[in-house]
Chain A
Amino acid sequence: MARKITYQQAINEALDQEMTRDESVIVMGEDVVGGSGGHGEMDAWGGVLGLTKGLYAKHGNRIMDTPITESGYIGAAVGAATCGMRPVAELMFIDFMGVCLDQIYNQAAKFRYMFGGKAKTPVVIRAMYGAGFSAAAQHSQALYSIFTHIPGLKVVLPSSPYDAKGLLIQAIRDDDPVIFLEHKVLYTLEGEVPEEPYTVPFGEANVVREGDDVTIVAFGRMVLHATGVADKLAKEGIKCEVIDPRTTSPLDDESILESIENTGRLVVVDESNPRCSMASDIAELAVTRAFEHLKAPVKTVTAPHTPVPFAKSLEDAYIPSPEKIEAAIRSIA
């Protein structure tokens, strides 16, 4: 039965159901145990925001706390994946990737290729990303484009509870390394989610709104902003097509191009910094493969090329807002 649960509960349920289905699925990370209903240390958070709460009581030692050493446990997860396990490692904040990047981009991402297709590395690295909590420059970045740049990694950005559950189950069952990025502002978002396990395929964009006037490609949390603006403008007769690629790698370029061919106008909304970003990537897609269909310049709405500010007022100005998205659409519609 479908019922309303949060993005956070959807992720917890996906982990729980996959751990139940497949004994080789393990969860590891900093403070991920906890929340089993016990006392003292046993009743810790279940992850820094409680994402993995309750899993220890059901799955015991298959959910394990690690030392605060990302280089160690991310490496261990990658190694375990090559030896037949399906580890889900929680990196907590994506901003911590710098400590363990070699294990990800130079090891996990390369094994299948360098061993002639004979090795598989079914590891999932979960992490939260994004601004909005005044968590300052080292805990607020949207670094998905860095992983998207690296061949051999799959990169997932769910924007709804339904997608969060289905994409995480797909990520766990996938035989390649998957970077699964959760926007921290979305954790409390509610939506209809089936109780049964299901998968949402990678590389299949979700057309969230249909329209003939302007194509909006948005990622993660920005899908919600874009949809809100599209609904507002629809009342004035500006029909926007909102496309949520759901995965940046693989990317459903066909759905994006098809939409641009139909509308001739493109706005890309991306919370990350603008240089070498998904925004510039999608803009490149439009001008190299659909230029003859474009009726107006491609517009991008992104954060500025600065660190994420700590001050609430500055952080608000940093994040692409519905107002900025609306202005970009109006400038070409």
Chain B
Amino acid sequence: MSENTITPLTMPKWGLSMKEGKLINWLVEEGSQFSRGDELAEVETEKIASAVEASMAGTLRKIVAENDTVYPVGALLAVVADESVSDDEVNAYIEKFQSEFVPEESGDEDEGIQAQTIEVNSLNIRYLSKGDGDRVLLLVHGYGGDLDNWLFNHDELVEKTGMRVIALDLPGHGQSSKVVGDANLEFFADTIHAFLQALDIEKAYLVGHSMGGAISLCFASKYPDNVLGLGLIASAGLGDEINNEYIQGFMESTSRKQIKPWLELLFADKSLVNRQLINNMLQYKRLDGVSDALNAVSRQLLDDSGKQGRQFLDSLDTLACRICVVWGMDDHIIPASHTERLPDSVSKLVIESSGHMVQMEAANKVNQFLIDNLLTR
């Protein structure tokens, strides 16, 4: 940080619908120094609880926001400035910020970027496109997920790469059609291929999480001319182990009580599974067609012994594009040990204290790794 600069730490905006967040508590004390990536405060939204991570190193000079209090997106939470800045300057900064701050008005949802729906192979596919760069990055969620799984990645990847970043709901998932064809990886890869064609996109980077990783690998094998590179997050298809109990448990759960322990398996920090996250998942699972779709997909993903049915490990070298792999150390769904047999040509990162949803739990680290190893090289 250069001298005499004051940086505001504000309530982040995680996802389109977020208007306000509740500051649960501060994780660093006033006056203490922190490094980039450190967790500064816990914030809870309607959708999820997460930590505000430092995007740079600095000193937390003055805490403005109080614990257990709701603040609008963009509100001043604290002021970051080094020792050379006087208290008066800090206080003047806060006064100025507060006098000029206007919270985003509720009911202005139309002004934000909205998810859209496009018909592809007779399926309605919902997607969210941000940024207008020539280069395109497609985010592919995993089994039972949706485009909100990229809540903490989408905006930052657009900002830091200048690319056009698109997240979609796969068929059978989120708000896309609940029809899954043969329900195998080829079906999803073909749908993505047709989806990109419908959007007039010839080539794209694919970043896939879990089953979305295996789908991305399948896509790269089948359509090598259309892929610029692969980012694989806690990916399926790189080994045969998978937590079959999780798949079955998640699939069969119909109530809050049943599904909670399974959702907690997705995170290293179980407290991230709050009421809203559970409700959102149940609301998805109650939609007509979801249960059949999830069943069909799981039968294709797993073989009779409950192991992963499809492997791409031995064919990674034949894929001409750049590949990077990131995993959470505490992944209880697909073990991080699947990074051990990767060829040397693949850059990899295993992140401590993170579970299967590593792109949510350690968003900054995952984003930076993707930028450094896939998107800006």
Task: Name A's B-contacting residues (CB within 8 A).
Answer: 1-2, 162, 166, 194, 196-201, 204, 207, 210, 254-255
Most buried by B among A162, A196, A197, A200: A196
* Known A1-B175, A207-B275: A200·B286 in contact at CB below 8 Å: yes
Closest A-chain residue to B275, C-beta based?
A210
- Does B244 count as interface, using CB distance less than 8 angstroms? no
* Known A1-B126, A207-B275: A198·B175 in contact at CB below 8 Å: no
* Known A1-B126, A2-B175, A207-B275: A194·B283 in contact at CB below 8 Å: yes
Check B288 against A197 for contact (C-beta < 8 Å). yes
Residue among A1, A2, A199, A207 making CB contact with B256, cutoff 8 Å:
A207
Check A198 against B283 for contact (C-beta < 8 Å). yes
Residue among B254, B256, B257, B288 making CB contact with A196, cutoff 8 Å:
B288
Residue pairs across A and B with Cβ atoms less than 8 A apart, 21 shown, are: A1-B126, A2-B175, A194-B283, A194-B287, A196-B175, A196-B178, A196-B287, A196-B288, A197-B287, A197-B288, A198-B286, A199-B288, A200-B286, A201-B255, A204-B254, A204-B256, A207-B256, A207-B275, A210-B275, A254-B257, A255-B257
* Known A1-B175, A204-B255, A204-B256: A198·B126 in contact at CB below 8 Å: no
- Does B184 count as interface, using CB distance less than 8 angstroms? no
Contacts of A210 in B (CB 8 A): 275
Compute how far the CA of A187 lies from the CA of B287 in the bound complex, rounded to whole angstroms: 23
- Does B221 count as interface, using CB distance less than 8 angstroms? no
Compute how far the CA of A199 lies from the CA of B290 in the bound complex, rounded to whole angstroms: 11
CB distance from B147 to the nearest CB of A (A): 13
- Does B25 count as interface, using CB distance less than 8 angstroms? no
Compute how far the CA of A194 lies from the CA of B257 in the bound complex, rounded to whole angstroms: 23
Q: Could you list 17 further interchain pairs (A-B, Cβ under 8 angstroms) beyond the known A196-B288, A201-B254, A210-B275?
A: A1-B126, A162-B283, A194-B175, A194-B287, A196-B175, A196-B178, A196-B287, A196-B289, A198-B283, A198-B286, A198-B288, A199-B286, A200-B286, A204-B254, A207-B256, A207-B275, A255-B257
- Does B117 count as interface, using CB distance less than 8 angstroms? yes
Check B287 against A198 for contact (C-beta < 8 Å). yes
Contacts of B175 in A (CB 8 A): 1-2, 194, 196
Compute how far the CA of A196 lies from the CA of B176 in the bound complex, rounded to whole angstroms: 10
Compute how far the CA of A308 lies from the CA of B287 in the bound complex, rounded to whole angstroms: 39
CB distance from A39 to the nearest CB of B (A): 36
Contacts of B287 in A (CB 8 A): 194, 196-198
CB distance from B272 to the nearest CB of A (A): 15
Closest B-chain residue to A237, C-beta based?
B68
Within 8 A of A (CB), among B286-309: 286-289
Compute how far the CA of A199 lies from the CA of B255 in the bound complex, rounded to whole angstroms: 12
CB distance from A191 to the nearest CB of B (A): 12
Closest B-chain residue to A162, C-beta based?
B283
A-B interface, 5 closest residue pairs, ranked by CB to CB distance from nearest: A198-B286, A197-B288, A198-B287, A196-B287, A204-B255
Within 8 A of A (CB), among B155-200: 175, 178
CB distance from A16 to the nearest CB of B (A): 14
Check B286 against A166 for contact (C-beta < 8 Å). yes
Against A, the Cβ 8 Å flags (1 = close, 0 = not) of B111-141 are 0000001000000001000000000000000
Within 8 A of A (CB), among B218-260: 254-257
Compute how far the CA of A199 lies from the CA of B275 in the bound complex, rounded to whole angstroms: 19
Check B117 against A1 for contact (C-beta < 8 Å). yes
Compute how far the CA of A196 lies from the CA of B178 in the bound complex, rounded to whole angstroms: 10
Against A, the Cβ 8 Å flags (1 = close, 0 = not) of B264-293 are 000000000001000000010011110000
CB distance from B114 to the nearest CB of A (A): 10
Compute how far the CA of A254 lies from the CA of B257 in the bound complex, rounded to whole angstroms: 10
Compute how far the CA of A200 lies from the CA of B254 in the bound complex, rounded to whole angstroms: 9
Compute how far the CA of A194 lies from the CA of B169 in the bound complex, rounded to whole angstroms: 15
CB distance from A160 to the nearest CB of B (A): 12
Compute how far the CA of A197 lies from the CA of B321 in the bound complex, rounded to whole angstroms: 42
Compute how far the CA of A166 lies from the CA of B288 in the bound complex, rounded to whole angstroms: 10
Within 8 A of A (CB), among B78-132: 117, 126
CB distance from B22 to the nearest CB of A (A): 10
Compute how far the CA of A109 lies from the CA of B197 in the bound complex, rounded to whole angstroms: 57
Contacts of B255 in A (CB 8 A): 201, 204
Compute how far the CA of A207 lies from the CA of B286 in the bound complex, rounded to whole angstroms: 17
Contacts of A201 in B (CB 8 A): 254-255, 286
Compute how far the CA of A210 lies from the CA of B283 in the bound complex, rounded to whole angstroms: 18
Compute how far the CA of A162 lies from the CA of B178 in the bound complex, rounded to whole angstroms: 20
Closest B-chain residue to A197, C-beta based?
B288
Compute how far the CA of A65 lies from the CA of B175 in the bound complex, rounded to whole angstroms: 37
CB distance from B18 to the nearest CB of A (A): 15
Compute how far the CA of A254 lies from the CA of B289 in the bound complex, rounded to whole angstroms: 29
CB distance from B153 to the nearest CB of A (A): 22
Compute how far the CA of A162 lies from the CA of B286 in the bound complex, rounded to whole angstroms: 12
Compute how far the CA of A201 lies from the CA of B178 in the bound complex, rounded to whole angstroms: 20
Contacts of A1 in B (CB 8 A): 117, 126, 175
Closest A-chain residue to B124, C-beta based?
A1
CB distance from A207 to the nearest CB of B (A): 7
Contacts of B289 in A (CB 8 A): 196
CB distance from B146 to the nearest CB of A (A): 12
